[in-house]
Amino acid sequence: MAVSRHLAIHGRVQGVFYRGWAVETARALGLSGWVRNRRDGSVEAVVTGDAAAVADFVARCHGGPPAARVDRVDVTETAPATVAGFEQRPTE
């Protein structure tokens, strides 16, 4: 069954390849959705896919790429992503 989650990732997550890492990770897990930087210094993502794959992605986001320092990941249920595949979006 497909599920969707909205993530707000806080810490040192900009300028450390976090979005690129998220795109690679999500695509490897077969997820759809998007990721973008936020002006407040956080990273935001919406992921949709198999419940186990989404849970795996969320768990991996607590670590992120090697240069990141993730302080917290806020996760909420959300409407499904309306994109095919997984994309990096401009900062908002």
Q: What is the pLDDT of residues 26-66, one digit of tens each?
A: 999 999 999 999 999 999 999 999 999 999 999 999 999 99
The pLDDT value given to residue 37: 98
Ordered by start, the domain boundaries in the chain are 2-84
Per-residue pLDDT tens over the stretch 57-86 = 999 999 999 999 999 999 999 998 788 899
CATH number of 2-84: 3.30.70.100
Give the angle subtended at the CA of 2 by the CAs of 82 and 23, to the nearest 5°.
55
Active-site residue set: 19, 37
- Retrieve residue 79's tokens: 């409407």
Query: Which pTM does this prediction carry?
Result: 0.95
With bands split at pLDDT 50, 70 and 90, how would you rate the model's confidence at 6? Answer: very high
